[in-house]
Amino acid sequence: MSADTTPLATRTPATRAVPRVLSIAGTDPTGGAGIQADLKSIGANGGYGMAVVTALVAQNTRGVRSVHVPPVTFLREQLDAVSDDVELDAVKIGMLADVDVITAVREWLVRVAPPIVVLDPVMVATSGDRLLRADAEGALRELARLAHVVTPNIPELAILADEPQATSWQQTLDQAARVSTRLGVMVLAKGGHLECDTAPDALVDATGDELLVTVYEASRIETTNTHGTGCSLSSGLATRLVGSLQPAHAVGEVKRWISESIRGGRDLAVGDGNGPIHHFAGMWQRAGLDTRPTPGEVRADWWESIREVREQIDALPFVLGLGDGSLRDDAFRGYLAQDALYLRDYARALATASALAPTVAEQAFWAAASQGSITAELELHESWLADGAYDGTVADDATSAYLNHLLARCAEGRYDTLIAALLPCFWLYQDIGLRLLPRSHDTHPYRSWIETYADAGIAEVTETAVEFVTQAAARAEERGREAMRVAFTRSAEHELAFFVAPLLS
């Protein structure tokens, strides 16, 4: 098998959600360059990063102190250990140190043929320290033929071209075109070393019938946080190329990310020399650091958050009397009359939830709840209020306040907040019914009410409602989840007021 050098623009892109990207490079104990930076860059650009160490580098932000190259046999063992087990989507190659290391990597590339190879021809550190033996330059040029993209800075581009260093942007582009033609590889030419107000980059592709040059203009960022920029750019690009139809687009995306990370470097305080970039600056700013809870965690947290409300409901004379059968008949019938008024608009709110639901399953559930469950409960009310004594009843303050809360959530048109507000009517009633059921008996005056809410069908419906609401809360961003919790809590408080009201009149 030979290395896969099919042009990237003609490939069918991978469809993996998380690209598996291997970095083959040296180390940086301060974390700003080498494989440490590569792993951060791969993760920041949506990939799963792996690393094979070519050299152990004693360095910091001020410079390189020494380089230890492990035996090449150990390098081969590392490479084989990864590729024997993991299907690779892309490989980024950085510091290779000497001819033996380059040869080992070349042999592995020919045998494994990764679908994407990005070579960062690391030769000289930002500090000026030499990271590649001079006698290995020719071997590195030959290795570049197995890559799809190389990402040299201006001094490294000159070495690849075996020419004097470019001193202008046009010279840089011309030199990149010659390297692309000679080595059969796309060249990401970088203008950061030029003495000018801008820092342009360009993707130069002379591997086909015509020269293609895509220029990326960028303002120069005044900062000393540039340590590891080349490492980070190349590993980020290797990740972005997986699944990309157009290499030029992938370069544009990683360019925006690297600029954001360079700007964010000022927030770091790492070292006294050229500090590192902040690989996760944009991610932290946009997403924060809070983890999302699981639906089970939401369930436990919300139920606990209304513990005081539940305990107050349990202690109410109405509920105590309902449980032992001592509740006055007129108080119970008055409660049912208010509940009948409440259920009319509650059914409308359930129907609104069905209309707003994002899935067919949720749509069907809330529609069924509006029709089936409410119909069953209204039958219970009609059996108690058939004499017409409570005809003409108007909503009291507690009923009106509860309905206003639900209808306001309907008017907002936000599905998640609405179903959170609907949940306590399921959850609290089913909980009360279950706990009062052991006190029910054949002659209990309120047996039918207790057994309605303790019924297995009600339990199943309630469980589904809890699942849909807690799943939505787990998916939501923090602000949306908090809005849901507030709507849920207020409905629970309205339930408390609803049970208080019958004995106030």
DSSP string, 4-67: ----GGGSPPP--SS-EEEEEEE--TTSSSHHHHHHHHHHHTT-EEEEEEEEEEEEETTEEEEE
Share above pLDDT 90 across residues of the chain, in percent, rounded to a whole number: 70
The answer to whether 457 is a known catalytic residue is no
pLDDT digits (tens, 9 = 90+) for 299-328: 999 999 999 999 999 999 999 999 999 999
What's the pLDDT score for residue 3?
61
Q: Which of 231, 236, 265, 417 is catalytic?
A: 231
Provide the CB-side half-sphere exposure for 25 (13 A, CA).
Answer: 32
The answer to whether 452 is a known catalytic residue is no
Q: Which of 47, 192, 230, 236 is catalytic?
A: 230
CB-based contact 399:342 (threshold 8 Å): yes
Alpha-carbon gap, residue 94 to 131, rounded angstroms: 10
Whether residue 192 has pLDDT greater than 80: no
Whether residue 244 has pLDDT greater than 50: yes
Give me the residues paired with residue 108 across strands.
Answer: none
Whether residue 77 has pLDDT greater than 60: yes
What's the pLDDT score for residue 1?
37
Q: Which of 229, 417, 462, 470 is catalytic?
A: 229
Q: Which of 34, 94, 228, 321 is catalytic?
A: 228
Return the SS3 of 190. Answer: strand
The answer to whether 208 is a known catalytic residue is no
CB atoms within 10 A of CB 126: 18
Share above pLDDT 70 across residues of the chain, in percent, rounded to a whole number: 93
Q: Which of 40, 61, 151, 190 is catalytic?
A: 190
Alpha-carbon gap, residue 237 to 252, rounded angstroms: 9
Alpha-carbon gap, residue 54 to 76, rounded angstroms: 10
Mean pLDDT rounded to a whole number for the chain: 90
Whether residue 51 has pLDDT greater than 60: yes
pLDDT digits (tens, 9 = 90+) for 133-188: 777 888 999 999 999 999 999 989 999 999 999 999 999 999 999 999 999 999 99
The answer to whether 231 is a known catalytic residue is yes
